[in-house]
Structure 1
């Protein structure tokens, strides 16, 4: 290793051979002292002796991220999720331009994340950082970098719930459930879908793509293995992520509703001489698949009635958050909830519902302290 002064700054240079035996060199300048340059250079030299240096060490942050999503994400997720990954790429390009990945500092990244947090809630910032952090972990494994600048960053952002995180309170969910039971019919399939979403936590695409063969009424389970492209209406598609494929248990009340719907469908379709080759669960009497806009309109209308008068007028996705919040408030284990929702790991679930979990922790603190007083 060489350490020398270039202008007013110190530089280290490491010479090594790549896997093909070609001579390479790696250098970095800008150090204020010779000792600082030597220390960092020595660390890099030790890294080389242990695991080698990447031949792609001069790739930009943006280019590495772009390549990463093309390899691991694009074409494997739904369009909505892919657009989120693309938006992060735009953020990296705007904030870091052509900066080399290996040169990005923790303070630079923290500042960029803080800028993003000025117009976003904390949950969104945390999810945003989680995606980038995953990318950086792969960069470490690829030996493009040797320091994780995303580690222990501070997550900023508004504490208020965004539209995505709105959910119903228990009494509101109970009233909504009752109204769906009273109003659901093959002519008003939206109520069946709302009921199904509330009781399972499924995404709208998963609900719309549900077929009767996916429902095992005897064993009380549903098999979530696909979704419906309700945006472009192109038919079945893959679930949001591979981990979204799952089998979950359903209760007797939902089974009764599904049996009622199937009886209505069979009777109506027999009279009409209609056969559904796709065997979809949620078609109406006109053989139509209800749009998400129509279902959300029904949901808004119901929640705004005097009978419910909900504090939060949620969208269908809010039913998923409601489902999770009710389970959390009832002290159901986070591992179970995570698998039921189709998350790849519990950290995703914990990040999304961190405020609810924090409320539960505080409640558990009070119980624990009260118990300790009895010892």
Structure 2
């Protein structure tokens, strides 16, 4: 059955050729025209004259690919980015066939997008399309990668000047949170957890007691929590965000103490923590990121740190401390839940360069003393 729908001020159709591929066309002024054209395509499909690989458009292929391999499998925030990419390729290329997309056409789309978006956003978008094109080549639809060699432009990245705490400041923050963080001041414990694990706030908010292994001193990150709309658990940002990481004994002790106090208080209240949330307040709520950031800002002002960072800045601080101490970039990437080390390199390139310069000095000093 063909889908007939409006795309802006015009009508369009979509006819599914098989479970993964479809043919669509827009720009019809009247609904009946779209229905008539769809009926012709369906007849060709019925007669076996429609080759799903022959004339599929870039927009149709990418949308089908995204719906098959990405939508429904990732965190809603990431899925929304794929939906933006779908609209972009639809608006840019319309019904242009995948096999007819030129490298220059693709570069032009990226350049236009980059005029109003940060460089990191353009790079991420390119990775989506590049991945889809690899599938298209594997499916035998096209023989060349028109995304190869794409130049990435964009506005100054929001991560171009990452804000993080200096090592001694992080030590002060850790000490203060251990001393003052309690079940009744749970935001401080979340801050401590973020600093010592590098987890995103949604991952921290979604942590449950069954994912805390006190015996092995590890925590498993396999979900997040919708702390904005409070609709419950959600998927992590990406598949690779699901991970098990080791935690220091100091954090394990703090979590054990929290568990004891939380259970005691909830027992007195006659409340059952059915979701088994670790960072749930005595009012049976998960703190909002706004509340936690407010607490963090207050603490950092008290400590008179060089930078006043947000909770996400704790993630950058975590990575920067490990980089500064020479921890393997592969390990750091896995700990942060990055899809691959290239993402870690891109985000922390300036820190890695500083580390490299220090190693270079050490190497030259050793060689000079031979």
Q: Do both share a fold (TM > 0.5)?
A: yes
For 1:271, which of 268, 273, 286 is the aligned residue? 268
Offset from partner CA, 1:206-265 (integer Å, 9 cap, x none): 211212221111211112222222233222233233222221100012112112212321
Unaligned runs of 5+ in 2: 1-50
Name the counterpart of 2:238: 241
The answer to whether the 8 A contact 1:176-1:308 is kept is: no
Q: Is residue 2:324 matched to residue 1:344? A: no
- For residues 354 and 109 of structure 1, do their structure 2 counterparts lie closer, same or farther at Cα, with a shift above 3 Å needed? farther
- For residues 195 and 136 of structure 1, do their structure 2 counterparts lie closer, same or farther at Cα, with a shift above 3 Å needed? same
The answer to whether the 8 A contact 1:57-1:145 is kept is: no
- The 1-side partners of 2:200 and 2:191 are apart by 11
- Between stretches 285-294 and 110-119, larger displacement belongs to 110-119
Offset from partner CA, 1:62-105 (integer Å, 9 cap, x none): 22111111001111111111111111222223333333222222
- Between stretches 351-360 and 316-325, larger displacement belongs to 351-360
- The 1-side partners of 2:264 and 2:215 are apart by 21
Name the counterpart of 1:16: none
How many residue pairs match? The answer is: 320
Unaligned runs of 5+ in 1: 1-53
Tell which structure's C-alpha radius of gyration is larger. 1
Q: Is residue 2:257 matched to residue 1:260? A: yes
1:106, distance to aligned residue in structure 2 (A): 1.9
Name the counterpart of 2:202: 205
Q: Is residue 2:227 matched to residue 1:230? A: yes
Offset from partner CA, 1:108-128 (integer Å, 9 cap, x none): 222332333333333333222
Name the counterpart of 2:368: 373
Q: Is residue 2:304 matched to residue 1:308? A: yes
1:325 aligned counterpart, secondary structure: helix
- Between stretches 186-195 and 285-294, larger displacement belongs to 285-294
For 2:78, which of 76, 81, 102 is the aligned residue? 81
- The 1-side partners of 2:139 and 2:172 are apart by 53
Q: Is residue 2:312 matched to residue 1:317? A: yes
Note the aligned Cα RMSD (angstroms).
2.4
Q: TM-score, normalised by structure 2?
A: 0.78
Within 5 Å, which residues of 2 pair with 1:95-174? 95-158=92-155, 161-162=158-159, 165-174=162-171
- For residues 112 and 186 of structure 1, do their structure 2 counterparts lie closer, same or farther at Cα, with a shift above 3 Å needed? same
1:165, distance to aligned residue in structure 2 (A): 4.7
- The 1-side partners of 2:141 and 2:162 are apart by 36
1:223 aligned counterpart, secondary structure: strand
- For residues 171 and 161 of structure 1, do their structure 2 counterparts lie closer, same or farther at Cα, with a shift above 3 Å needed? farther
1:193, distance to aligned residue in structure 2 (A): 0.8
The answer to whether the 8 A contact 2:178-2:254 is kept is: yes
